[in-house]
């Protein structure tokens, strides 16, 4: 692969297998990052700073085949230089600082199983300064001075929590070296929590990357008594049928179920009937996706009517009066079945009598009528494995059933039926 160098805000970006860096800061990427780096590699990068400087290396990402592919960082220019660290797997290492003005990175892979690779930021700094700590991923930084005695603060973005490091670090002299007194704050989307602020954001763990396998994350949103909670789905994409978000109308898992969501089919928003919502995100042991980004907020009940209850995905609402005593009903698009056919009633406390129902494409059923649509389960998302679905279609005596089968993106079918005389 030919060597390439891209300048980005005075930083160097290398995706070649051999390169000498002479800029004061930059990024070293494994070949083809973030795609598979390939097999039979033996790459060497040298970072060459000014003689009065040292080099700081911070890992932004690493995913290297454990035990067989290795990244080695050395404290000098030659292959015989002291080893500062050897890295394999996907656990993000702590930052590394050289003792001199040259650092050597060696990357070696075997004959199989390439991974995503690594993304490392390097900065150079003088001996009377601390290394530039950078900006936390999913966070903000306040302060720019790197001089001895100066401090820098960090703050995580909304929806993220500090899981490691400190919110404030200070440049100190320790055992003859100028270093930060603590690690930089690491901001991550938590797996569950008890949320009591009037508004906020809930993110799937790993956001904005893919979530991990085998998760069971529970969030409880608590508002002041008498104030319902509204959640809005900004982004949602999970493995269909296997990675699910359950939303319950209360504070525990035994509370009434509002809905189970997976794939991409979610309502625009949901509103609780109490001052609690319970969310449970469960994933299996294979195939992850981007996950979700939700916003929640405490809402004030109206003094003369209920709030808009919303409209089910793949369905319609019948009735637009939300005064006390008003009834609202729902129906589904052709081929879908309503989860709860009971109407919603606006009660004297200005809350609806039950949660918004959902429209689902079921596995099998008994169908009557002169025409209709049959959808594969989960449509328009992927259908699950190991299905055996049977639909019984009853026609009037003397009628002939005519059917038309339409493929849909290679994953589903749409079957249209109508009767002929």
Looking at the DSSP bridge assignments, the partners of residue 197 are none
Q: Which residue has the higher pLDDT, 400 or 309?
A: 309
More confident residue, 299 or 153: 153
Bin 206: left if φ > 0, else alpha if -120 < ψ < 50, else beta. left
Query: What would the two tokens of residue 167 be?
Result: 């919110």
Q: Higher model confidence: residue 365 or residue 194?
A: 194
Considering only residues 106 and 313, tell me which one the structure prediction assigns the higher pLDDT: 106
Q: Which has more confidence, 5 or 201?
A: 201
pLDDT-derived band at 6 (thresholds 50, 70, 90) equals very low
Provide the pLDDT for residue 399. 55
Quickly tell me which residue has 């199983």 as its tokens.
113
pTM: 0.59
CA–CA gap between residue 159 and residue 268 (Å, rounded):
19
Instruction: Please report the domains of the chain, with CATH numbers, ordered by start residue.
Output: 1-126 (2.60.120.290), 128-187 (2.10.70.10), 193-359 (2.60.120.290), 365-420 (no CATH)
The pLDDT value recorded for residue 398 is 56
C-alpha–C-alpha distance, residues 410 and 309, integer Å? 35
pLDDT above 50 (res 192): yes
Is the pLDDT reported for residue 191 higher than 90? yes
414 — pLDDT class (breaks 50, 70, 90)? very low
User: Is the pLDDT at 92 greater than 80, yes or no?
Assistant: yes
Cβ atoms within 10 Å, residue 92: 16
**What mean pLDDT, rounded, does the chain reach?**
86
CA distance 36 to 263: 26
Please compute the mean of the pLDDT values over residues 151-165 and round it to a whole number: 95
Q: Which of 183, 173, 73 is nearest to 128 (CA)?
A: 173
Local structure of 288: helix, strand or coil: coil
Mean pLDDT of 309-324: 88
Torsion sign over Cα 235, 239, 243, 246: positive
């Amino acid at each position: 692969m030919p060597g390439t160098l891209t300048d980005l805000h005075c930083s160097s970006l290398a995706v070649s297998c051999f390169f000498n860096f002479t800029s004061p800061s930059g990024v070293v990427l494994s070949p083809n990052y973030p795609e598979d780096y390939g097999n039979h590699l033996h790459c060497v990068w040298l970072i060459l700073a000014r003689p009065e400087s040292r080099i700081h290396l911070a890992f932004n990402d690493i995913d290297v085949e454990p035990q067989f592919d290795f990244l080695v960082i050395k404290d000098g220019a030659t292959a015989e230089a002291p080893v500062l660290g050897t890295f394999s797997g996907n656990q993000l290492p702590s930052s590394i600082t050289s003792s001199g003005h040259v650092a050597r990175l060696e990357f070696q892979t075997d004959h199989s199983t390439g991974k995503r690779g690594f993304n490392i930021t390097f900065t150079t700094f003088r001996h009377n300064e601390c290394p530039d700590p950078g900006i936390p991923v999913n966070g903000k930084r306040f302060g720019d001075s790197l001089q001895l005695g100066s401090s820098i603060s960090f703050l995580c973005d909304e929806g993220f929590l500090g899981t490691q490091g400190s919110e404030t670090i200070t440049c100190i002299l320790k055992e003859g070296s100028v270093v930060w007194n603590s690690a930089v704050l690491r901001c991550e989307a938590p797996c569950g929590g008890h949320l009591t602020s009037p508004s906020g954001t809930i993110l799937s763990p790993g956001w904005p990357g893919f979530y991990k396998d085998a998760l069971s994350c529970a969030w409880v949103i608590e508002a002041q008594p008498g104030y319902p909670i509204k959640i809005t789905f900004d982004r949602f994409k999970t493995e269909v049928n296997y990675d699910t978000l359950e939303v319950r109308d209360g504070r525990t898992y035994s509370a009434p179920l509002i809905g189970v969501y997976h794939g991409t089919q979610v309502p625009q928003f949901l509103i609780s009937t109490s001052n609690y919502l319970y969310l449970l995100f469960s994933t299996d042991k294979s195939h992850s996706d981007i996950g979700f980004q939700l916003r929640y907020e405490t809402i004030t009940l109206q003094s003369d009517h209920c709030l808009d209850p919303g409209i089910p995905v793949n369905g319609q609402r019948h009735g637009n009066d939300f005064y006390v005593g008003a009834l609202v009903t729902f129906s589904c698009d052709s081929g879908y079945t309503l989860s709860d056919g009971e109407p919603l009633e606006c009660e004297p406390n200005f809350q609806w009598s039950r949660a918004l129902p959902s429209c689902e494409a079921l596995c099998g059923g008994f169908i009557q009528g002169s025409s209709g649509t049959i959808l594969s389960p989960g449509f328009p998302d992927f259908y699950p494995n190991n299905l055996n679905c049977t639909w019984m279609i009853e026609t009037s005596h003397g009628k002939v059933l005519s059917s038309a089968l339409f493929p849909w993106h290679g994953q589903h079918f749409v079957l249209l039926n109508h009767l002929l005389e």
